Amino acid sequence: MRRLYKILGALALLTSIAACASLPMHSRNACYWMTEDGSRWVLMSEVETKKQCFELDSCSGGKGMSGGGCYKWAPSTDAKARPW
């Protein structure tokens, strides 16, 4: 009986891991930078807060500390930016 419980526990853990793998990589907001050619948004993993992202943004009301880069705070690369 103990062996059955161990097998069921392992199966439950594997099922949980598989479920997490199917979730979007970034389900919470993060900072994204628009590439210089304007073709795509790229995750800026080193920018940890909305305030830091706002300070870098030069395109939509941020402080422009990046010297011209466009940044957004959003849940994914293809999502609409959250208001500053």
Model confidence at 20: pLDDT above 60: no
Render 1-62 in DSSP notation, one character per residue: -HHHHHHHHHHHHHHHHHHHHTS-S--S-EEEEE-TTSS-EEE-TT--SHHHHHHH-SSSSS
Contact 75, 29 (CB under 8 A): yes
Give the residue extent of every domain in the chain. 30-74
Tell me the pLDDT tens digit for each residue of 46-63. 999 999 999 999 999 999
pLDDT top residue among 18 and 54: 54
Mean pLDDT of 30-49: 97
Report the percent of the chain where pLDDT is more than 90: 68
pLDDT top residue among 36 and 6: 36
Mean pLDDT of 20-32: 68
